[in-house]
């Protein structure tokens, strides 16, 4: 009886591990979606060159003032 119960416990343990791995994969997908919503996607990293252009535009009037 004890060995049979042990095999039942092993089955339930593997089932819970499988269910937990499924839950963690769903949690990971949910977190990835949440992170993509909270943090801007990679496409919004494009305005960084625009800021460098703004820096160049700021330098031009300073040269005119010096000249």
Q: For residue 39, what pLDDT is reported?
A: 77
* Residue 10: half-sphere exposure toward Cβ, Cα within 13 Å: 6
What total of structural domains would you count in the chain? Answer: 1
Q: For residue 2, what pLDDT is reported?
A: 46
Question: Can you give the pTM of this predicted structure?
Answer: 0.38
Task: Give the structural domain span for 18.
Answer: 2-66
Q: What is the DSSP letter of 39?
A: S
Is 34 strand, coil or helix?
helix
Q: For residue 12, what pLDDT is reported?
A: 86
| Mean pLDDT, the chain cut into blocks of 10 residues (67 residues total) | 54 86 92 84 55 54 57
């Amino acid at each position: 009886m004890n060995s049979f119960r042990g095999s039942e416990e092993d089955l339930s343990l593997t089932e819970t591990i499988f269910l937990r791995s499924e839950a963690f994969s769903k949690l990971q997908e949910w977190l990835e979606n949440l992170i993509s919503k909270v943090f801007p996607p990679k496409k919004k990293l494009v305005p960084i060159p625009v800021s460098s252009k703004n820096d160049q535009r700021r330098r031009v009037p300073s040269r005119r003032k010096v000249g």
